[in-house]
Structure 1
Amino acid sequence: MFINFAPISLKLLFCSFNLGSMAGPSYLVNILDSNHVSAPKGSVPSTTLALTYLDLPWFPSAPMQSLFFYEFPHPTSHFMQTTLPTLTQSLSLTLKHFFPLAAKLICPPPPLKPYILYSDGDSVPLIVAEFTGADVDHLTANYPRDFKLLHPFVPELPPSTMSSEGILVMPVMAVKVTVFPNTGVCIGMAHNHVAADGSAFMHFMRSWSSVCKSKGDSTFLDEESRRPFYNRDALGDPDGCNEEALKCYWHWISSWRENLAGPTKDISSVDKVRATFELTRAQITKLKQWLTTQCKNSSNDSEEVKISTFVVTCSIMWICMIKSQENNIQVSTNGDNDDDTFYYLLFAVDCRNRIGFPLPVTYFGNCLAPGIVRAKKSELMGEKGMVTAGKAIAKKVKEMESGAQKEAEKGPSNLEEMFRSGHHVGISGSPKFRVYDMDFGWGRPLKIEFIHIDDGGSLSLIESKNESGGMEVSLVLSKNQMDAFTSNLAESLKAF
């Protein structure tokens, strides 16, 4: 393990973040450590990993950002002296197996291909900060709060660099640990989607938390069933998909400008709020029963659709999202009032172990196909909107059981049509990630937040922290839209 220790004694006064519904006191951030953590020296040989047609489309995407809040009723000194050494050692041991997260993305100009390059000593930046004066209960609440409230806990990826030969070098992952004295700890993660999708990244997080909880015992990762699988050859190149994906990459790298960090956004004046809504197991059971009956009664097809927890959750949230946006739609002059306008729902389908993808669940990389559902505005906004949404989503889920490869191959063209429409809602996360099982030795998480949904138009969906069979859905909207969404959801749940 290599840890480059560079203590920093910077006291930063942040007055612009409001921790309450009204203006509150300022609070202090003390940056305690700035480290670089790598796998144990000599434990991983220099390795090059090719990128597949499922990795390449993610180059234009912003980093994936997640926050894991934990209860930690100890002073900062206890964390620094007792907990941080175990946390960094376990990260080092885990990176031995998940080395691409410490590697670099090498992005040459056309006609060369990009790849992941790991060299011995490559590392992950780890920042440790102390946050004094914060109300952790407010930070981890479900009710609407200023969406900027959580941004101080998200790490920034180091800046990309450009060589004299025009080769762009991009970091893959960064970690920021924030200590709330005598109250809690937040582990903030940022990673480049090109290197790993949600399933692969959560595999890493589960492994890291398990090694940390066991005080550095990583022997279970030596088991083949637990180790990440890196063989790209198993994916092949169906119908020249790699060449098509490379064309998109070459267009992206050719348009790269002087700003090596990529475009930045000023969010200081953006007025949005973040909230989490929980559907209980009882509510979901009731919704499933109702929607199953309605689909049977209204179906003209002989084929029966399966109404799952995922289907009912996406259905009711999609409808409520559309209704909450109606005010914006009504003032548009682009023909959006047309009842024949198509609205879209996008969810990612994990293709591991599906037909056409002979990959184990431990495959590390991207293995997603876009599940795209569309329906007319008039149908979704009508009395049977939930039924329309539920049937469409259930049919798409079933189609993806055997047709995921086809959807993955034509995904870019389908996504282009959806994005052009301007009427789309995306689903991020999955209850299959089991994020609330990630115990670093401090107990189950208090709250999980996905910050990359802050641009709006997306929902994060994970399993409930409080009960098996429940669901948590988080979203970011303007204050007016959030009020409308909350009202629509409450009314919808009362109706069933």
Structure 2
Amino acid sequence: MEAAFHVDIIDQCHVFPEPHSDISQVTLPLTYFDIPWLFYSPNQTLFFYKIKHSESTIATLKKSLSLALHYFYPLAGNLLVPPPPAEPHIVYTKADSVQFIVAESNKDISYLSGNQPRSVTSLSSIVPKLPSPSSISLEIRVLPLFAIQITLFGDSALSIGVTSQHAACDERTLYAFMKCWASFYQSLLKNESIFEFKSIPWFDRSVILDPTSLKTALLEQWRSTLNSSPKDLYNETDHDIVQTTFFLSSSDINMIKDHIVSKCEKVKEDPPLNLSLYETGVCYTWICLLKVQETLDAKGGPIYMGYNASGISRLKYEIPFSYFGCCIVFGRFGALKSELLGEDGLVCATRSFDKEIDRLVRDFLEGGEKWISDWSELNLRIIGSPKVDFYGVDFGWGKAEKIEKISGDNHGRVDVITLNGGRDLDGGLEIGIVLPKNKISEFTTLFNSGLKELAR
């Protein structure tokens, strides 16, 4: 009988940012973009590489991580949550560090880096959990922000698991950090003695304007629900939830778009205006998912999909692209389940999404006071974006074999899909679907047969 998958931790340490001569402590207030994320589990990303490695590989990863943290030092800090009326905030001191774990697996890397159904429990074992919260008094909770785990698969492959508190940084900031880390790793391999990084993070939170006191409204909502919020959604014993990767090529996307436009023309209606890669791929996947889910919307009410949209270029004033932190809004769109599962369900879904995009264009922060309450009613949410090219993170090993997004909210729950730009697909999508093992074959048939039907 084949041995069960397991991971053994072989080393655990802390990596400190390369010291600053003039920084001993820094405090960053949260903005209204950060506060809604206090309700959600950390962001987790996996990078799989097929490379020969040795002890020097780990040593160089640690050294280059220290160099990158010199610029992104708040990631080594903590989120402090004091009692009201004080506000939660991020604090970094020169004594802070990032937990760095080295583990080894008894399986070949293809077991987890493939596209076939893989146990969510197994995938989660190679991304680190953030260190447990602590307290600096009876009332102030201290929550670490960042952790790294390197998992070795024999001597010819490894994975890098990154866990980050989303209230500290969005995917754009995480991508900038990973690019920085990778560039320093390459510099060390080349024995370069001068380390430079030009895209210095922008830490000044005053660039985020709040004329309508949105932060105050969201803080009040967060405080009022603090005691009732779920603390841990992870079910260690549930091994029947699997994550599977599906693909939509650029030609698939165009085929779906043509189908939507054709449907609209037949009834002499204008098609949705914003049939982007993201919108089209998400809506097609959503309709397929609804067809295999049996528990949603038992009373026939609306079904909601949650998404995030970047605000770096959408606000009515300029924000440095190197801004460190979150700069994304919470959006949702939906329709009645009966309409989504009807003959024109795909058109219905894209029309609903189209209206949301129009709202964003009109006023990016409209409805911001409802972000927390609206997202509490979601049936499904999206994590990741094809616009953040994690496949472009190059440690000198070439493209990752696979990038996998894991949500701390999806263990045992069918409520998340993940998105990446395709590794080998020009203009395509990699889509991560989380379903019970007994449902994934049904979804696969629907997803693939739907594309074949559109191709006729």
TM-score, with length taken from structure 1:
0.84
What's the counterpart of residue 480 of structure 1?
A: 438
What's the counterpart of residue 13 of structure 1?
A: none
2:350 is the counterpart of 1:390: yes
What's the counterpart of residue 236 of structure 2?
A: 267
What's the counterpart of residue 51 of structure 2?
A: 72
> What RMSD in Å do the two structures reach over aligned CA positions?
2.3
Q: Tell whether the 8 Å contact from 2:217 to 2:369 is kept in structure 1 after alignment.
A: no
Question: What secondary structure sits across from 1:355 in the alignment?
Answer: coil
Q: For residues 74 and 268 of structure 2, what CA distance do their matches in structure 1 show?
A: 48
Q: For residues 91 and 137 of structure 2, what CA distance do their matches in structure 1 show?
A: 18
2:305 is the counterpart of 1:345: yes
What's the counterpart of residue 153 of structure 1?
A: 126
Q: For residues 430 and 37 of structure 1, what CA distance do their matches in structure 2 show?
A: 29
Cα distance change, pair 175–299 in 1 and its aligned pair in 2 (3 A): farther
Q: Tell whether the 8 Å contact from 1:288 to 1:312 is kept in structure 2 after alignment.
A: yes
Residue identity in the other structure for 1:62: S
Cα distance change, pair 304–34 in 1 and its aligned pair in 2 (3 A): closer
Residue identity in the other structure for 1:42: H
Q: 1:174 Cα shift?
A: 0.8
Residue identity in the other structure for 2:405: F
Q: For residues 164 and 483 of structure 1, what CA distance do their matches in structure 2 show?
A: 51
247, 263, 274: which one aligns with 1:278: 247
Q: For residues 299 and 89 of structure 1, what CA distance do their matches in structure 2 show?
A: 62
Question: What secondary structure sits across from 2:84 in the alignment?
Answer: coil
Q: For residues 135 and 308 of structure 1, what CA distance do their matches in structure 2 show?
A: 37
Q: How does 1:266-415 map to 2 (within 5 A)?
A: 266-298=235-267, 300=269, 305-325=273-293, 327-328=294-295, 335-336=298-299, 338=300, 341-356=301-316, 358-415=318-375
Residue identity in the other structure for 1:328: T
2:422 is the counterpart of 1:464: yes
Cα distance change, pair 151–410 in 1 and its aligned pair in 2 (3 A): closer
What's the counterpart of residue 392 of structure 2?
A: 437
Q: 1:117 Cα shift?
A: 0.8
100, 104, 124: which one aligns with 1:130: 104
Cα distance change, pair 144–167 in 1 and its aligned pair in 2 (3 A): same
What's the counterpart of residue 103 of structure 1?
A: 77
Cα distance change, pair 353–386 in 1 and its aligned pair in 2 (3 A): same
Q: 1:190 Cα shift?
A: 1.0
Identical-residue share of aligned pairs (%):
32
| Range with bigger deviation, 116-125 or 40-49 | 40-49
2:8 is the counterpart of 1:25: no
Q: For residues 457 and 115 of structure 1, what CA distance do their matches in structure 2 show?
A: 29
Residue identity in the other structure for 2:426: S
> Looking at both structures, which has the greater relative contact order when contacts are Cα pairs under 8 Å and sequence separation is at least 6?
2
| Range with bigger deviation, 156-165 or 428-437 | 156-165
Q: 1:391 Cα shift?
A: 2.2
For residues 418-469 of structure 1, give each alpha carbon's deviation from its aligned partner in whole angstroms, at most 9, with x where no partner exists: 34xxxx2211100111011112122211111122144321110111111211
Cα distance change, pair 26–319 in 1 and its aligned pair in 2 (3 A): closer
Q: 1:299 Cα shift?
A: 5.7
Question: What secondary structure sits across from 1:243 in the alignment?
Answer: helix
Question: What secondary structure sits across from 2:356 in the alignment?
Answer: helix
Question: What secondary structure sits across from 2:232 in the alignment?
Answer: coil
Question: What secondary structure sits across from 2:312 in the alignment?
Answer: coil
Q: For residues 154 and 127 of structure 2, what CA distance do their matches in structure 1 show?
A: 18
Residue identity in the other structure for 1:215: L
Question: What secondary structure sits across from 2:188 in the alignment?
Answer: coil
Q: 1:201 Cα shift?
A: 1.5
TM-score, with length taken from structure 2:
0.91
Provide the aligned length of Structure 1 versus Structure 2.
447
Q: Tell whether the 8 Å contact from 1:348 to 1:368 is kept in structure 2 after alignment.
A: yes
User: Structure 1: 5+ residue runs without aligned partners?
Assistant: 1-22
Q: 1:101 Cα shift?
A: 0.6
| Range with bigger deviation, 88-97 or 390-399 | 390-399
Q: For residues 362 and 401 of structure 2, what CA distance do their matches in structure 1 show?
A: 37
User: Structure 2: 5+ residue runs without aligned partners?
Assistant: none
